[in-house]
Amino acid sequence: MSELPQRKHPRLKRFDYSLNARYFITICTYQKKHLLCKIRVGRGLAPAETILSDAGKIIEQNLLDLSNRFSYLTVEHYVIMPNHIHAILTLNAPAGASPRPTIMDIVCAFKSLSTRDCKRLGNIQKLWQTSFYDHIIRNEDDYRNTWIHTNFQ
């Protein structure tokens, strides 16, 4: 029997992910299937156009609804690609606020709710890969760099 590779823990050790901060998040679809949209390339100087699938529309609505579910959360920017999403999420809870959800709580809720809603389409059983990528945005330069390299519009 061969041993499976040891999985690295993707989160920053000893960092409190409930702290007020900006977080850059990437979540990929299961097996990187192109489920969320199609990209239509523009002609000449026309920009490319994102055409959301039914699943992509559900994902967008669930993403935008996160700030209703988590009152201290703002979805600043997001982009939906064919097989993943990028988002900049900001936690801004007043001092002493309780409970203080972590970014993991928020992403878990998003993935769970969006999967439930997409399953109603009938052709999706598993929507997301396990885990997600995160980057804690440390300052304005880091924010601008993330913005530029992620194709936010």
Confidence band for 5, pLDDT divided at 50, 70 and 90: low
| Amino acid at residue number 71 | S
Q: What is the DSSP letter of 32?
A: G
pLDDT of res. 88? 95
How many domains does the chain divide into?
A: 1
104 found inside a domain: yes
* Residue whose C-alpha is closest to residue 136's, from 104, 98, 114: 104
* Contact by Cβ (8 Å): 89, 103: yes
3 found inside a domain: no
- What does pLDDT average to over the chain? 89
Q: What is the DSSP letter of 15?
A: -
The CATH code of the domain that includes 40 is 3.30.70.1290
Burial of residue 98, with CB atoms counted within 10 A of its CB: 0-12 exposed, 13-18 middle, 19 or more buried: exposed
Confidence band for 14, pLDDT divided at 50, 70 and 90: confident
* Contact by Cβ (8 Å): 144, 23: no
Tens digit of pLDDT for each residue in 28-42? Answer: 999 999 999 999 987
Tens digit of pLDDT for each residue in 78-119? Answer: 999 999 999 999 999 887 777 788 999 999 999 999 999 999
**Helix or strand or coil: residue 105?**
helix
8 found inside a domain: no
Residue 111: give the domain boundaries: 21-149
